[in-house]
A and B are shown apart, each in its own frame.
Chain A
Amino acid sequence: MQIRVRRTGGFAGIERRGEVETSGRADAEEWHTLAERALAAGRDTPPIGVPDGFSYEITVNGRTAYCADPRLTEEQRELISRVLKEGA
């Protein structure tokens, strides 16, 4: 499973991307659960955010969902933070 996260906006307006390929990873199952939940709670189009808030694009195996701060689910928050950290 390929998981990609793109973060745009924010006070700095600097874009961040990350990508994690889960095949062959010992914790692949955990990633899959997290990614599916994060994707399911997302929207098909970018939500109206708040000024300077981060906007996120989560793509799992080619399917994309959108979400924005400060309204993320716990799974979205965790997935975004892990992908941007590990898959930078």
Chain B
Amino acid sequence: MVQSMTTPSGHEPAFCTVVPPHVLDKLAQHGDTALATPARRTLERDALERTRRRLTTVIGAPTVAAPQGAAAGRPHRTVYDAGHQQTLPGKKVRGEGDKPGRDSTVNRAYAGLGATFELYLTAYGRDSIDGNGLPLDASVHFGEDYDNAFWNGEQMVFGDGDGQTFLDFTLPVDVIGHELTHGVTQYTANLAYFGQPGALNESVSDVFGSLIKQYALGQTAAEADWLIGAGLLAPHVTGKALRSMKAPGTAYDDTALGRDPQPGTMDGYVRTSRDNGGVHINSGIPNHAFYLVATALGGNAWERAGQVWYDVLTGGRLKPRATFADFAKLTVAAARARYHEGEEQEAVLKAWEQVGVPTS
């Protein structure tokens, strides 16, 4: 039971949080060192993990070196099978260059990591998540009927879905791109994960998640579906995806799931304490702004529209607590810096105006 505890580092399951902190405090002060020493060690480790995670959130992730002898500009992928447990990372099932196996979930995760790496490298010259060849790790088959995928600060984690509402989270490539982009954000602007900066963090992941799908399919802005999570909902669910960048609020409307709550403009901005201040709700606004820029410019969205967004994310001026307006102003500046005063800047100004975010 204790062994299946998960720690962020994933390699050393500890009994730390199984035993309540106040009990550990008491044990650590015990006269018997046989009792006090392990308790003290656990408290220290727990504090260390907490500090480390907080630091990762505050100052970005530490630099992890690429494997020795690894070529620059090539992905270094490893896929693990969590075996329906919640211990990370699980058993290694596919390394870089290994042939596809029989498990299509593993193969999809591996391909999705590759597609994400590919877009960042070819479109923006970025060598992996950290810009320095960071190995890309993913664990699949996490938990039982687990309805989620997330980035834990160090790797990607995918559940299989419950089969009733959600299918396998490796199915849409934009979900894989979305999660890895949380890593890119962590290493660059490091947007806080609450309120408006949190919604920007979510939106940036949707934007690049969608661009990774468009790039992989060779679709122009006009051809793309601009959906996030298409193919993730089980067949009987009334909905086509989880979010729509083209028409926020229209992705699903289902008796069990409810209705897509995303606004597309500031008029519909939702103030809530849930979901870290509605990070998955209000992201609809910057999402829609990006869609408007990309479709106004036409062609491949990852080229000019994506470049402007990428420049803002990585340019060093986007603050961890940036508001929508801060972000919008930086996109105008980035469009001007890269393309001068042309249609790019015009498209950016107009898009933010349409969604109700001020740029001046």
* CB atoms of A73 and B5 under 8 A apart: yes
B115 at interface by CB-CB < 8 Å: no
Contacts of A51 in B (CB 8 A): 150-151, 179, 182, 185-186, 193, 201-202, 205
Query: Which residues does chain B contribute within 8 Å of A73, judged by CB atoms?
Result: 5, 17-18
- Contact A70 B88, CB 8 Å, known A9-B276, A41-B17, A51-B193: yes
Q: In the complex, are the beta carbons of B148 and A54 less than 8 A apart? A: yes
Contacts between the two chains (Cβ within 8 Å), count: 102
Q: Which residues on A sit within 8 Å (CB–CB) of B175?
A: 11
Residues of the A chain whose Cβ atoms lie less than 8 Å from the Cβ of B88: 70
Task: Check A50/B274 contact, CB under 8 A, given A12-B147, A14-B258.
Answer: no
In this complex, the interface size class of chain A, counting residues with CB under 8 Å from chain B, is 20 to 34
* List of A residues within 8 angstroms of B276 by Cβ: 9, 49, 55
Asked whether B1 lies within 8 Å of A74 as measured between CB atoms, the reply is yes
* Interface residue? A21 (CB, 8 A): no
Within 17-74 of B, Cβ neighbours of A (below 8 Å) are at 17-20, 22-23, 53-54, 57
Can you list 29 residue pairs at the A/B interface with Cβ under 8 Å? A8-B275, A9-B275, A10-B147, A10-B148, A11-B149, A11-B150, A11-B175, A12-B147, A12-B280, A13-B242, A13-B275, A13-B280, A41-B18, A41-B19, A49-B276, A51-B151, A51-B182, A51-B201, A52-B150, A52-B151, A53-B150, A53-B152, A70-B6, A70-B86, A70-B88, A71-B8, A72-B6, A73-B18, A74-B2
